[in-house]
Structure formats: structure tokens, C-alpha cells
Structure 1
Amino acid sequence: MSQKINGVKGMNDLLPGEIEVWQFVENTARTLFGRFGYGEVRTPMVEDTALFVRSVGEETDIVGKEMYTFEDKGGRSLSLRPEGTAPAARAYIEHSVSNVEPVSRWFYMGPMFRYERMKTGRYRQFSQIGAEAYGAKEPAQDAELMDVVVQFLEALGLTDVTLNINSLGDDNCRPAYHAKLVEYLNAHRDELCADCQQRLERNPLRVLDCKNEKCQAVAGAGPNVLEFLCEPCRTHFTDLQRKLGALGIRYVVNHRLVRGLDYYTRTVFEFIASHPALGTASTVGGGGRYDKMMKGLGGPDVPAVGFAMGLDRLVLLLKEGGKTFTAQPDLFIVAADVDAACQDAALALTSRLRREGFYVEFDTRGGSLKSQMKRADKSGARFSLVLGGDELRTGQAKLKPMAGGDLIPVALGSVAQTLRQAASQPSSPPSLKTRE
């Protein structure tokens, strides 16, 4: 007997019964982002490793510890994408989009890969939905992106999420804060965890993002980056807060928020859920401004801002909400007789109704009338229709409401019309829609 082969640890299968939740989130994103004027882009899952080293940062945990990197047959170092912003930026530069339009708004969705320590809501293959805006340096663009996320979460029915914002300054004012932070953290080195002691040497800002309670206590008492902002950065952050107020978006200013990537300047933000289903992986999305990345990757000096949301975590929250996302069949057709003519007629009627847009179930295995009716009930279909010799001879059948009610006479040539009429009745539950 051959040995069973299992899936790769941390890379999950999505099967019918669960995939419908994912499709609901993806379809909602496409609709909502399109309403804001964001067009979808799709980039390869494999990129030149140098792209992530130069954009994300060589000293980040993502590049230093978590990327799936390999050498291809041509001797090139390639990596599975660990995030979506750098590939989108590479595509923007490579296709000279800045020469075509002054402001570009893109969104993407798809799998990312990081060799992480797994826990609830954190996997080695995970999916993100993100958006990027190129060409606008004004805080109004930052506010618009946050509004996209707020409206997206509302459309999903997720309301218990808090927006945290901060400003990291720019090349003019961040060095002074960086020096003060290093001085402070060195004075408290012995109170930091082993990882943060290493981060202190390589990337001190990452200490502020540590989840260790002792490190959080040290970081909380440290210097406040907002006190070091230069006047342009301070004005940008003040304007952003005013615009969020104008949009009616509630937020919390969190001076310890830094995000985990090196490319951010000025605005950074996170959306944090309080639901216990996520455990410590409570951030469902975040992003910020990266005005220097495009030029650093050999492209034009174009400002940019973006965000990404964890699709896996959004799905977890939606499943906890108790909604049903699987489609409800309109009709289950039962072949009452085992002869070929009845089976063929049932199959043909099923096909015709599907062509007309109905979700119709038909068990190709056949079986007894009793067993097929049990399957019809289990399917959740709104109606069933028994098709046998009498129905074929007379051209008449009856729709049975599976939730109870009187049988509905129907001509076999008018089943579609009768189903549509039944669907328009107030007492009839909606078909093919998310329902409570």
C-alpha cells in the first residue's frame, strides 16, 4: 500500500463549504474597491529575491528569516512573494505607468508565503487583499485608503475593529528620533527579550512591535516619535486626522505603531480586531505611506501609500459571526423511475433549468424515491420536483416547498417561470445569497 502524502504544513486546503466564505470576501472587495476607482492587478507569485531585499529591508524578519528563497536552474535567486506591495511597485515601474497617468490606484488579492511560526490566523501560505495608490503625496490619499478599509469591513459586517494611526516622520526628522530611541533602549537592554536585543543592533524600530510583555512595557515608556516630527510631517499628520474626522472615521493615535517593514515614511496604520477567535493575531490589516520606495527600486520619484488585509483572518471573523455563505439550491429534481427514459428526462430538465440561471441539484446515482427525497431535504433546496412516468406522459408535475406548504402544480415546460414567480413571493427565502 502506497504511503499517504499530506499537504505541506501551514498551507491549507479550501474545500466546498468553506470556500464560499472566501468568495464572499473576494467578491465584496472587487465591488467595493471598484467603487473607489481601484483596478485589479495580478503579479507573479515568484519574484527576484533582490526586490524584497531592497524594498522590505534586509534586516527585517521577513527577509532575514521567513522568505521561501531558492535558486532556479539558471542560477538566479528567486523568492515566493512574502507580501504584495513590492511586486505591485515593480510592475508599476517596469510598465512605466507613471508616464501614462499621474495617479494610479490598484488593488490585488492572492497568496503570499512566509516561513512563520504558525498559530491561529497565521499560516505559511496566507492570502492578502491589498490596495496601492501612486502619485499623490497629500494626506487626503491616506484618508481615502483608510475609508476603503472602513467601508470594506462594514460591507462584510465586521464592526468591532479599531483603527490605529501613527507617523514615523521622514528622512529629515526620523534620524533624531532614531538616535534617541537607540540611546533609551540601550539603557534598558537587559529588560529586553533575546530577539529584541538583536533587533536593537539591526533594526531598533522593530523593538516597538514586539509582543513580549516586558518589551512592550519598555517601549511604552520610551521616546514618542510624534514629538520629533518636523513641521511638514507634523502638518501632514494633523491634516490626516482632520480628514478622518470629516469622514466620520474614528481612530486611535498610537505612537508605538511602526509596522514590520522598512519602507514606510510618515503615515502608518493598522486595523485591530478584538475578537478572541484571532488570539494574538488581532491585526486584520494595515499599511502606510512609502514615498521613497519607487525611486529606491530604480523607478521614478513617485509618492505612494497602500495597505494589505489578511484574508484568512477576515474569514475567521466571518465564520465566528454565524452567517451561512453556501448557496441554497432552487430545486432538487427526483427521478422517480429507474428506467433510462425517466433518468434522461430528469437530467435534461436539470440542464435546461441550469442554463436559465437556476441552481438545480440532481443525484446522478439515482436510487429509491425515499432515498432521493432524503438527499433533497439534506441539500437545503427550496423546492423538489418528482419526475416519473406519469409526469412525462402528462407534461405536468408538482413543486414541493421543502420548508412546508401546499404543492404547486407546474407544467414541465414552465418550471422556470413558476420558480421565478415563487421566488418573488415575500414568504420565499432568497436564493443564491448570503443569509443569516
Structure 2
Amino acid sequence: MSIDIPRGTQDILPGTVEKWQYIEQKAREICRAFRYQEIRTPMFEHTELFKRGVGDTTDVVQKEMYTFEDRGGRSITLRPEGTAAVVRSFVENKMFGNPTQPIKLFYTGPMFRYERPQAGRFRQFVQFGVEAIGSNDPSIDAEVLSLVMNFYQSLGLKKLKLVLNSLGDTESRMAHRDALINHFKPRINEFCSDCQNRLETNPLRILDCKKDRNHELMKTAPSILDYLNDYSKEYFEKVQQYLTDLHIPFEVDANLVRGLDYYNHTAFEVMSEAEGFGAITTLCGGGRYNGLSEQIGGPEAPGIGFALSIERLLAALEAESVELPIEQGIDCYVVTLGDKAKDKSVSLVNDLRLSGVAAEKDYQDKKVKAQFKAADRLSAKYVAVLGDDELEQNVINVKNMETGEQEEVSLSSFVSYVKEKLL
């Protein structure tokens, strides 16, 4: 009986993994420019962290988490998202005491959600995310948005749409909450059981319901923008002003909610408008989460961040027919003829590799012609041919595969010769 890969997961094979590496390198480069430092948190945490941080009423906590009991009887959950774990680390490691604030962090790694697998969505997926913790300044919101938009554009994506909303502060949200309850309550029996359960606990979640999104009451639901107090209005206007100053186009959508409970004030999504990308167009989501630090036992530490799926990003690149500039092939392939030459190739290839040259040789006793074919398949820039006769004379023939030019080089200068040619 064969064992297949679990549903909702994937193998990332050579030939494709190079795209992932390129994207991850681009992420690190832009984070360095914006002065965000990498953080790595565990792939599993105490379940209570996500219940408190993400929210008991969210689909993530209620339906999608991989939760199990360890041998000590503790409830453990594979991380479904990155923000709660980063804020937990911020609190636990007392980063709030660092004199340089805000603390600006990024992460990349696997997340786990039990969802129905579909194009670009997996049960194990990889996120790149950014968190800026310790500032209430709306300019940090604009900075985070600039980072993600510039990241996408640096990879060649053009058909992007940034959508914004404000969820307001606690006062604004409570006023909006009461309006939502009054709006939905008379006909709540027409909605799914989840929405009915959330009416009193968290009516904002109703607006994020996938089952009832086409219900007529959704279209006429009270807008949060009508319930923002003066502080929340001014904050949102500042964010928009900064984005305009940065020449970043955006749209305001009062129905944008986001699926996690910790969001307040700025909420946003980046969407792909590429033809054929699919019904679900969201590439990235994020927002401000003032209060999350306090929810998990830390001091007041307002924050903002985003997370994006690498799988969705790759799908968007494909939809826009963007070819990443992945360097293909190797630098040098050593072809041998004769047993002594074959033995010598072991140290020759090793010397090339240790000097930084990507090199390869034959390991299957192939004929010379087959070795040349192997070098061609690997797109070798140079092919070095060593026979027993050349070995006796301490020389090796090096061929430039692009120009066809060939030169005899002494074995003692072979490595430095190849390195110089590659410059």
C-alpha cells in the first residue's frame, strides 16, 4: 500500500523551490530596507493564545485549527497565523523595554488551517508577515502598506488593488455593534447558525460570513464609517493622507472586515485584478491590533501588520505571466575520459565548489558524449574535459558553451581560470 501526501499539502520540488527562494530573498531585502528584523516563533503554541488573540468567535478558532493534547495533558495548536505568536514573543521577551520603538519584525514560515483545499489555498501554507509593535502613529500604518505594495511590485505584479477600511476604536466599535444587532436581529433566523450565534457575541463577524454574503441585509448593513468618533475619523484620514503622499493608490470599502477579532482602526487587503486569477482575489490582509498585547497579558503596545500567502503570490505571478529571473544551470561541468582522469575529477570538482563555483561531474560511468549531454541539460556555462593524456601533461581543456571557444589550461591554474571567466 502506497502512502500519499496528506490532503491540503504539497511537495515543493527542485525547479519550483528556486522561485520560493527568490521570493523569500526579495522579502528579506525589502525588510532590510524598511528596517524590519526577522523573528522565528514555534510552529505550535498553547491553544489559549489563539483563543484569546484571534478570537473565540472566528472561523479560525471554531473550525480551522489543528489542536491536540500533548503527553502532559496540555492543549496545543499548530499556529494558524503569525501575529498572535509574534506578540506573545514581544511580551514574553520584554521587547517593550527596548529603547528603540516601535519594534519592527518580519517572519516567514508554515501555518496550518483545516480548510477546504482549492487553488492557491492549502492546509499547510507559507506566510510572509510583518509586525510593527509599539506605536500609535498613523504613519507606521502607511509604512507597512508601502512595504507590502513595493514588495509585490518588485516581483513584477502590476494588477493590484489596495482596499482600506477603518474599524475604529473601542467606542466606535461598540456603537457600530449595537447598530448591527438592531439591523440583523429581526431577521436573524434567515441566516446560518454561525451568524445566529454571533449576533450577540460578535455581530461584526456576520459581515464576514461566506454563506450569507449575498443576503439583502448584508447590502444595507450599517457602515462602520458612520459610527467613527472624532479620533478614529482623524486617524483614518491621516492614513489616507500619508498613502496619497506616498503615491500609493487605494480604495475605501466600508464592508471590509477581516476574519480575526484583534483588528481595530486600519484594516486592509491587497487584491489581484489579473484576469483568470480566480473568484477569491485576496493576496494579502492585515491591519492594526491595538489591545492584543494586553489580551495576552502584556503592557499596552499598539501594533499593525500584515500576512501574505506565498502560494497565492505564486498564483498571481502566473496569472500575470510574470517570469521570475531565476538563475538556471551550473558554472562548470567536468567531463572525464579514463580511470585516472575520473579519479582526479573528484578533487577538481571539490576545489571548484570550495572556491564558490557551482560544479558537477558524472557519477554513472557515462560515455563522453553522454557526459556532454548531461552538461547541456544542466545548462553548464563551461565544460572542462580531462582525459588520461591531459592528466599526464597536467592540463585540462575548458570550453565556453555559449561561444564555443576552447582553451587548454594548466591544472594548477584551472580553478582560478574558471573563476576569472565567470566574473
Alignment partners' CA distance in 2, 1:217 and 1:112: 35
**What is the identity percentage for the equivalent residue pairs of Structure 1 and Structure 2?**
40
Q: Tell me the amino acid that sits aligned with residue 257 of structure 1.
A: L
**What aligned pairs does 1:124-163 form with structure 2 within 5 A after superposition?**
124-163=123-162
Q: Structure 1 residues 262 and 33, CA, compared in 2 at 3 Å: closer, same or farther?
A: same
Q: What is residue 73 of structure 1 aligned with on the other side?
A: 71
Deviation at residue 28 of structure 1 after TM alignment: 1.2
Q: What is residue 230 of structure 1 aligned with on the other side?
A: 229
Q: Deviations over 1:192-224 (max 9, x none)?
A: 556545554553223323445852764333222
Alignment partners' CA distance in 2, 1:251 and 1:391: 66
Alignment partners' CA distance in 1, 2:57 and 2:249: 34
What is the count of residue pairs matched by the alignment?
420
Deviation at residue 392 of structure 1 after TM alignment: 1.2
Structure 1 position 333 matched with structure 2 position 372: no
Contact 1:121 1:281 in 2 (8 A): no
Q: Tell me the amino acid that sits aligned with residue 172 of structure 2.
A: C
Contact 2:162 2:270 in 1 (8 A): yes
Contact 1:134 1:302 in 2 (8 A): yes
Q: Tell me the amino acid that sits aligned with residue 405 of structure 2.
A: D
Alignment partners' CA distance in 2, 1:322 and 1:180: 49
**What aligned pairs does 1:256-335 form with structure 2 within 5 A after superposition?**
256-276=255-275, 278-319=277-318, 320-323=321-324, 325=326, 327-335=328-336
Question: Normalised by the size of structure 2, how large is the TM-score?
Answer: 0.93
Alignment partners' CA distance in 1, 2:292 and 2:376: 57
**What aligned pairs does 1:135-214 form with structure 2 within 5 A after superposition?**
135-187=134-186, 189=188, 192=191, 196-200=195-199, 202-211=201-210
Q: Tell me the amino acid that sits aligned with residue 145 of structure 2.
A: M
Q: What is residue 381 of structure 2 aligned with on the other side?
A: 382
Q: Deviations over 1:42-86 (max 9, x none)?
A: 111111100000110001000000101111111111111100000
Q: What is residue 63 of structure 1 aligned with on the other side?
A: 61
Alignment partners' CA distance in 2, 1:192 and 1:321: 42
The more displaced of 183-192 and 305-314 is 183-192
Deviation at residue 282 of structure 1 after TM alignment: 2.0
Alignment partners' CA distance in 2, 1:163 and 1:205: 22
Deviation at residue 19 of structure 1 after TM alignment: 1.1
Q: Deviations over 1:337-372 (max 9, x none)?
A: 2x1x21121121111111111111212222101111
Contact 2:160 2:272 in 1 (8 A): yes
Q: What is residue 116 of structure 1 aligned with on the other side?
A: 115
Q: What is residue 3 of structure 2 aligned with on the other side?
A: 5
Deviation at residue 248 of structure 1 after TM alignment: 1.1
Alpha-carbon RMSD across the aligned residues, in angstroms, is 2.1
Q: What is residue 355 of structure 1 aligned with on the other side?
A: 354
- SS of 2:72's equivalent in the other structure is coil
Q: Structure 1 residues 173 and 322, CA, compared in 2 at 3 Å: closer, same or farther?
A: same
Q: What is residue 98 of structure 2 aligned with on the other side?
A: 100
Q: Tell me the amino acid that sits aligned with residue 263 of structure 1.
A: Y
Q: What is residue 41 of structure 1 aligned with on the other side?
A: 39
Alignment partners' CA distance in 2, 1:200 and 1:13: 41
Alignment partners' CA distance in 2, 1:364 and 1:50: 53
Deviation at residue 237 of structure 1 after TM alignment: 0.3
Deviation at residue 153 of structure 1 after TM alignment: 1.2
Alignment partners' CA distance in 1, 2:199 and 2:275: 31
Contact 1:193 1:215 in 2 (8 A): no
Q: Structure 1 residues 192 and 402, CA, compared in 2 at 3 Å: closer, same or farther?
A: farther
- SS of 1:11's equivalent in the other structure is coil
Alignment partners' CA distance in 1, 2:237 and 2:33: 27
Alignment partners' CA distance in 1, 2:153 and 2:405: 39
Alignment partners' CA distance in 2, 1:40 and 1:54: 24
Deviation at residue 105 of structure 1 after TM alignment: 0.8
Q: Tell me the amino acid that sits aligned with residue 346 of structure 1.
A: S
Q: What is residue 218 of structure 2 aligned with on the other side?
A: 219
Alignment partners' CA distance in 1, 2:326 and 2:209: 36
The more displaced of 406-415 and 280-289 is 406-415
The more displaced of 314-323 and 133-142 is 314-323
Deviation at residue 328 of structure 1 after TM alignment: 2.1
Question: Normalised by the size of structure 1, how large is the TM-score?
Answer: 0.91
Q: Structure 1 residues 399 and 242, CA, compared in 2 at 3 Å: closer, same or farther?
A: same
Q: Tell me the amino acid that sits aligned with residue 278 of structure 2.
A: G
